[in-house]
Amino acid sequence: MALKGNLRDFSLHQLLNLINLAHKTGALTVKPEKAANSSNGHSAPAALFFREGRLIHAFYEGKPARLTDVLVQVGRLTPEQAQAVRQRSRIDTDKELGLLLIHNGFLSQNDIIQGVRGYLLETVYHLFTWSAGDFRFEPNELPPEERITVPLSLENVILEGNRRQQEWERLLDEIPDLDVSLRFAERPSHIRNISLTREEWQVISFINARNTIRQIGEYLMLDEFQIRRVTHGLKQNGLIELMQSPRAEPAIPKAPLPGVKLSRGVLLRIIDGIRRR
């Protein structure tokens, strides 16, 4: 018999605990509710597959989850490499794709396993940020045969998932609105000995009254969880502040990337401004 319900009443944490303790085999599909905040903007239902209480496969509905797609998503393969491999193989099984990847020297077997693992974890962690949505567990349903499976024990997944869920809730509290821009703190003089991550650097280099947090995130291909986390970190360090009034209409609809095409007029203003200092 299928297990059905809503995450509001029975959380993903509880579901995974059940699957883990009862060593269940089957497929769990979750359909996020429209209003539910999703940290990566995915509103498509997701499917997770388990064998004897271990997570073995995952995908979002409508999103291809062939091995090559998965490896591109986790950054282990470039889209060009993926296409080259796919063109050479008429049969579309993951096993065959994997062998081609190894034989062409693109990746080792270990790279592939780590890549699939990373993808599985990212997918399941994202589901922890869905606060509401119908779910259904269909016993004994397994992923399509041609897909690769990597078994992951659920215990650590549950622990880390919970941590992320709490962090996500805190981040939503701290930064409820992504459609505001950022500015450098007026008095950052107390800052000492902070070291910034590469992502923090990237965000800093896009700080500009016209760029909203959302636009910066989209440009840098960070999901809502990641851009909130980076922004929050910078805010905690006292480096940046959120601009208070959100814009009803952004002056420029798409993220204006820092451009170097300045008009003569603007340059003359800068020159004049510096002369006057």
Q: Which residues bind another protein (CB under 8 A)?
A: 176-177, 184, 186-189, 191-196, 198, 201-202, 204-205, 207-210, 239, 245-249, 251-252, 257-260, 262-275, 277
CA 244 to chain centre: 26
In the bound complex, what is the minimum distance in angstroms from residue 268's beta carbon to another protein?
8
Closest to another protein by CB, 87 vs 193, is: 193
Closest to another protein by CB, 163 vs 269, is: 269
Q: Is 19 buried (19+), middle (13-18) or exposed (0-12) by CB count in 10 A?
A: buried
Closest to another protein by CB, 44 vs 266, is: 266
- Strands 182-184 and 240-242, sheet pairing: antiparallel
In the bound complex, what is the minimum distance in angstroms from residue 61's beta carbon to another protein?
33
Closest to another protein by CB, 18 vs 207, is: 207
In the bound complex, what is the minimum distance in angstroms from residue 174's beta carbon to another protein?
12
In the bound complex, what is the minimum distance in angstroms from residue 273's beta carbon to another protein?
4
Closest to another protein by CB, 82 vs 216, is: 216
In the bound complex, what is the minimum distance in angstroms from residue 214's beta carbon to another protein?
15
Closest to another protein by CB, 140 vs 245, is: 245
In the bound complex, what is the minimum distance in angstroms from residue 255's beta carbon to another protein?
12
